[in-house]
Amino acid sequence: MSRFLLNLPKTFKTNLSLIKKYSTLNSGAIEHLGSIVGSNNYSITEAVRTHHAKDESLHEEAHPDVVLFPQNTEQISKILQFCNKNKIPAIPYGAGSGFEGGINAVKGGVSIDTSKYMNNILQVNVEDFDCWVDAGVTRKQLNNYLKDTGLWFPIDPGADACIGGMCSTSASGTNAVRFGTMRENVLNLECVLADGTVIGTAGLKARSRKNVAGYNLTNLMVGSEGTLGVITKVSLKLFPQPETIMGAVAPFPDVATAVQSTVEIMQTGLQIARIEFLDEKSIQANNIYNKMNLDETPTLFLEFHGSKGTVDQQAEVAMEICKSNSCKEFQWATDPEERNRLWHARHNSWFAFKSIHPNRKAISTDVCVPISKLPEVLVQTKKDIEEFNLKTMIVGHVGDGNFHTFISLDTTNKEEMKNYYAYSEKLVRHAINVEGTCTGEHGIGLGKMKYMEEQFGKPSVDAMRIIKKALDPNNILNPGKIF
Amino acid sequence: MSRFLLNLPKTFKTNLSLIKKYSTLNSGAIEHLGSIVGSNNYSITEAVRTHHAKDESLHEEAHPDVVLFPQNTEQISKILQFCNKNKIPAIPYGAGSGFEGGINAVKGGVSIDTSKYMNNILQVNVEDFDCWVDAGVTRKQLNNYLKDTGLWFPIDPGADACIGGMCSTSASGTNAVRFGTMRENVLNLECVLADGTVIGTAGLKARSRKNVAGYNLTNLMVGSEGTLGVITKVSLKLFPQPETIMGAVAPFPDVATAVQSTVEIMQTGLQIARIEFLDEKSIQANNIYNKMNLDETPTLFLEFHGSKGTVDQQAEVAMEICKSNSCKEFQWATDPEERNRLWHARHNSWFAFKSIHPNRKAISTDVCVPISKLPEVLVQTKKDIEEFNLKTMIVGHVGDGNFHTFISLDTTNKEEMKNYYAYSEKLVRHAINVEGTCTGEHGIGLGKMKYMEEQFGKPSVDAMRIIKKALDPNNILNPGKIF
């Protein structure tokens, strides 16, 4: 309970009727927080709070008491100082495109939305292949801005997520197999800690490619899902736009042959830029949603980057491997339009899936395993989907051993929900048992908390709890997540 | 002061004469620690303690009271439980090849040497390109073991360091420009925390390429220089041995043109495997020490990996850039013998430098800057070396903006030492001012402690101190380092 509430000023006139009963915040606290960001930059309306109450996941809405739209780091520092003093939960909010309930305000409190004002591209160092951006910048915004520089930022989780949110979950996506995840591509972060302290995780200004001074606070913040600090500015690695890009589509008779081809392609060590698996149902959904005409069978989408010579060579090797695994017809997609249609389709898989299952809830699973275990796990997954009689499709960043099942649910159907939970649990346990992880890119949020000790054992999770308690003793930063 | 000392058992017969006066440990503590590892596996002899009293740096010897050679993780856990209970410092020791005094026992205590017994390659998963090794395995030992698998571990700090030590400093070296540093190549760690708790930083068994479950304890331990835990086992990424390797030597008229070529090569985005700078004095030393006949002028050593076609293409581009920057003669080194001689020379630079300055102390600086700042910083560095009248040579992993000055010192010459300290300080401040770091790969140890707050500001360093205090409340793990 907020100490602030215990010393309530007597003269407040604010209309409290808009604040739901379960609100733990009084008008005085809200007025003070509002005064930090300015009267037009906070909201307690039902609509705005509902918009900030949940992400794309199944987890039920949990409303913040107030949504703040700060304009700068200094305001966020003042907000956290106040929240820390008064034990008010504070949840950073970017695009709300998460899959594990990471932004749901399960203990109420303050949602800090950086997307409205803190969305500027601050510095692009073309010669050094790096940049500084506000946390609220989205990846598409950044890449549009970079178009004419000859550079791009490859990390691509599908949704047009905010860079700050992508740091919080250590996002990755279709290009990770070549360019790595956020972990490998963040050079420095400006963050605000629970007590309002502003830090530079790699140094005040450092952006050198290598930096081993002190503890790696950058990669402690990356993936901490807003529980250790509020990320305000990000320094990112950038990459030269590829000289040549070649795409290909490889349809297979079954899951096993498609995945076996992936394993063999990765084992050649050739630097493929993207290698994505879509099962027959994904292709079906994409054909309908994107008006395409692909063979409705397990399929790999591949992409190669580099000089013309390199690309041709790599594509040749990949084609040979696919054909030796009974690929039906290895189709090139060289012209940009054709290629863009393919990747547009891949990125729209989520929306395609939703559209063919209207009036139902769609969710996505996320496990990652050593690539040699992928055939076993994916084949078993297909069996389980049958057994549990679920409406699904499977897409996967299979080059990393990471895949997702999209599942369409009637959340009012007890039987169906029971099957979904049983399926999901079986999938995660299988991944952990084959030396994989319960999450390859979505994070823990609310959804995977129960698997933390299974994957890590209690001592490791306790070590994380010790760090959380040390940096956020009042547990105000996104409380109720990860542990 | 150890609580253990306050309740001294009365009946010890151990001969204390071997323990130096400054020892804070009594015979009872030493006998107990010895009993954990076995009577033949600990030593209090002057010779062994001196061997564990310092690394390659200038920092004066600081003897541990006892050196332990544990056989397994369980013994290390028992050692730390005892040390923690009795507030006895514990310093992990690998190969002692560090450059910043990281292993010097500045508060006495226990040196835990993993190199004698904990040096087994535990598991190589060829299909997944990963392995598990004991912390005491050296990088050369690992690569010899991998020879016939078609895989290799590219991180290469020059010295034949232990993998555990390479994790502790987040080592890198000549291949980092292509393969990254330890940060990007450790999948999981088994470590023992200060209280003896054994954890898996990425999960009990996880070794998937991607893993975003919970806090990134792996990269918190990597680079923490033995102050947060004792690393006992490491899971590493491995890479396919390159199909074709081509080396080249490019001599330039001056530093500026050599470095400008590096900047331009990096800016093409071509995936060069190695690009190393050696100044004229380095070439001179290498010619003498390795009986070579290279043009004694600022020079780049380059290496390209991949298919024959890719390698040829990349080398062509690099050659064009070097020639356009007045490279005197771009010399290919295609046959393995010739190439190995070159890289053998590069790796022997440190020993070459020592040999041409006998009876003097050699030390190495280590800064890293954004690559666009490299010409300015290196040219200024050359001027400063003249001004301060120092015996030096410069080698650099210039593709990452990281370089070293080797300096030969008569440590009894006050004037020379004064100049060295002034030079070193000016170099580090210059690096920090151009948005670089005080250390690119050697770490902080004792040598760079005073620059931490300059680079980070006090709040960031305080955040590190908070983490240290939370995980090691009695400050037993490598005390007196980093902060």
Flag if B128 and A455 touch (Cβ within 8 Å): no
Residue A462: other Cβ atoms inside 10 A: 16
Report the alpha-carbon distance of residue A390 to residue B396 in Å, rounded. 57
Q: What is the pLDDT of residues A435-450, one digit of tens each?
A: 999 999 999 999 999 9
- B171 with B320, same domain: the answer is no
Contact (CB<8Å) A223/B203: no
Decide: B139 and B160 in contact? Cβ < 8 Å.
yes
Residues B334 and B192 in one domain: no
Asked whether the CA dihedral A85, A89, A95, A97 is positive or negative, the reply is positive
Q: Which of A455, A85, A472, A474 is nearest to B470 (CA)?
A: A472
Which residue, A240, A270, A295, sits at the end of a domain? A240
Residue B138: φ, ψ to 5°: -95, 160
- Does the beta-carbon distance from B471 to A466 stay under 8 Å? yes
> How many of the other CB atoms lie within 10 Å of CB of A341?
16
Q: How far B471 CA sits from the closest chain A CA (Å)?
A: 7
Q: Please tell me the predicted confidence (pLDDT) of residue A158.
A: 87
Domain count, chain A: 2
Query: Do A377 and A423 belong together in one domain?
Result: yes
Contact B400, B177 (CB under 8 A): yes
Q: Tokens for B390, please give them.
A: 């120092």
Instruction: Check whether residue A249 and residue A202 sit in a common domain.
Output: no
Q: In terms of CA atoms, which chain B residue is nearest residue A194?
A: B463
Say which residues have a Cβ less than 8 Å from residue A304's Cβ, sequence separation at least 6: A245, A246, A247, A248, A272, A273, A310, A311, A314, A315, A318
Beta-carbon count within 10 A of B387 CB: 12
- Counting other chains too, the contacts that A19-24 makes at CB distance below 8 Å and 24 or more residues apart are A19/A44, A19/A65, A20/A46, A20/A49, A20/A63, A22/A63, A22/A108, A23/A65, A23/A108, A24/A65, A24/A88, A24/A107, A24/A108, A24/A109
Interior/surface letters B304-332, b for 16+ CB within 10 angstroms, e for the rest: bbbbeebbebbbebbbebbeebebeebbe
A228 and A271, same domain (yes or no): no
Structure tokens at A392: 């699904």
- Which residue is it, tokens 């980093």? B482
Are residue B263 and residue B218 in the same domain, yes or no? Answer: no
Strand partners, A123: A132
- Write down the pLDDT at residue A42: 96
**Residues in chain A, total:** 483
Is residue A235 a part of any domain in this protein? Answer: yes
Number of helices and strands in chain A (H, E): 18, 19
B-chain CB neighbours of A459 within 8 Å are: 193, 197-199
Residues A321 and A337 grouped into a single domain: yes
Decide if B467 is inside a domain.
no
CATH number of B198's domain: 3.30.465.10
Task: Please check whether residue A123 touches B, CB under 8 A.
Answer: no
Q: What is the mean pLDDT of residues A139-144?
A: 98
CA proximity to A183, closest of B187, B163, B207: B187
Contact call for A212 and B442, based on CB within 8 A = yes
CA angle, B277 then B282 then B283, to 5°: 90
**Residue from A226, A153, A234 nearest A443 by CA:** A226
- β-pair type (A90-93, A66-68): unpaired
Helices and strands, number each (H, E), in chain B = 18, 19
Which one of B212, B214, B459 has the shortest CB-CB distance to A198? B459
For residues A142 and A129, what is the distance between their CA atoms, to the nearest angstrom?
A: 13
Task: Among B188, B222, B240, give the residue marking a domain's end.
Answer: B240
What does the pLDDT look like over A102-137, one tens digit per residue? Answer: 999 999 999 999 999 999 999 999 999 999 999 999
For B70, residues 6+ apart whose C-beta sits below 8 A from its C-beta are: B36, B37, B41, B76, B79, B112, B114, B117, B118
**Is A277 in the same domain as A422?**
yes
Name the residue type at position A320. Answer: E
Can you tell me whether residue B136 is helix, strand or coil? Answer: coil
pLDDT score of A310: 81
A14 domain-assigned: no
pLDDT digits (tens, 9 = 90+) for A323-340: 999 998 999 887 888 888
Coil, strand, or helix at residue A245?
Answer: strand
Q: Please report the pLDDT score of residue B26 as a whole number.
A: 85
CB proximity B122 to A under 8 Å:
no
The span from the CA of B371 to the CA of A278, in Å, is: 40
CB atoms within 10 A of CB A289: 17
* Interface check A174 vs B, CB under 8 A: no
Residue B208 lies in a domain: yes
Task: Mark which of B240, B274, B308 sits at the end of a domain.
Answer: B240
A272 and A177 in contact (C-beta within 8 Å)?
Answer: yes
Determine the distance from the C-alpha atom of residue B173 to the mean position of all C-alpha atoms in its chain, rounded to a whole number.
8
Q: Which of B128, B201, B462 lies closest to A370 in CB terms?
A: B128
Residue A207: pLDDT over 90: yes
Of A201, A212, A371, the CB nearest to B443: A212
Distances (CA, A) of A231 to A77, A95, A163, A222, B326: 11, 14, 9, 9, 46
Q: CATH number, domain at B283?
A: 3.40.462.10
Q: Tell me whether residue B95 is in a domain.
A: no
User: How many beta-carbon contacts under 8 Å exist across A and B?
Assistant: 300
Beta strands in B262-419, from DSSP E residues, in sequence order: 274-278, 299-306, 331-333, 361-364, 367-368, 391-397, 402-409
In this structure, the answer to whether residues B179 and B304 fall within a common structural domain is no
Cβ neighbours around A298 below 10 Å, total: 25
> Same structural domain for residues A280 and A198?
no
- Which chain A residue's Cα is nearest to B455? A203
Cα B182 from Cα B164, distance rounded (Å): 10
Within-domain flag for B429 = yes
Alpha carbons A64 and A49: distance in angstroms, whole number? 6
Q: Write the CA distances from B209 to A276, A368, B238, integer angstroms.
A: 15, 8, 11
Range of the domain at A200: 132-142+150-240
Q: Which of A252, A286, A268, A294 is nearest to A378 (CA)?
A: A252
> For position A12, what pLDDT does the model report?
34
Q: Check whether A182 has a pLDDT greater than 50.
A: yes
**Cα–Cα distances in angstroms (integers) from residue B10 to residues A429, B13, B33, in the given order:** 54, 9, 17
Q: Nearest Cα to A366, choosing from A421, A285, A448?
A: A448
pLDDT of residue A437: 98
Instruction: Record the tokens describing residue B221, joined without a space.
Output: 């331990």
What per-residue string of b and e applies to A426-444 under the rule 16 or more CB within 10 Å gives b? Answer: ebbebbbebbbbbbbbbbb
Q: Do B170 and A216 touch (CB under 8 A)?
A: yes
* Residue B459 in contact with partner chain A when CB distance is under 8 A: yes
Q: How far apart are CA A101 and CA A418, in angstroms?
A: 20
Of A209, A269, A437, the CB nearest to B401: A209
Examine the domain organization and report whether A339 and A434 are in the same domain: yes
What band does A253 get if pLDDT is binned at 50, 70 and 90? very high
Distance CA B324, CA B385 (A): 28
**Which of A172, A184, A210 is the best residue to mutate to test the B interface, defined by the most B CB atoms within 10 Å of its own CB?**
A210
CA-based radius of gyration for chain A: 23
Between these two residues, A218 and A346, which has the higher pLDDT value? Answer: A218
Instruction: Describe chain B by its helix, strand, coil percentages, rounded to 5.
Output: 40, 20, 40
Are B207 and B290 in a shared domain? Answer: no
Distance from C-alpha of B463 to C-alpha of B459, rounded to nearest angstrom? 6
One-letter identity of residue A6: L
Q: Which of B178, B212, B272 to mutate to test the interface with A (most CBs of A within 10 A)?
A: B212
User: What angle, rounded to 10 degrees, do the helices at B255-268 and B308-324 form?
Assistant: 140
Segments in chain B below pLDDT 50: 1-22
Predicted pLDDT at A20: 42
Q: What is the three-class DSSP state of B274?
A: strand
Whether residue A321 is contained in a domain is answered as yes
Is A214 within 8 Å of A202 (Cβ atoms)? Answer: no
Query: Does A176 touch chain B if contact means CB atoms closer than 8 Å?
Result: yes
| Option in A172, A183, A372 nearest B127 (CB) | A372
Residue B181: its chain A contacts at CB < 8 A? 210, 212
Question: Residue B29 falls within a domain, yes or no?
Answer: no
- Cα dihedral B320, A209, B439, A122 sign: positive
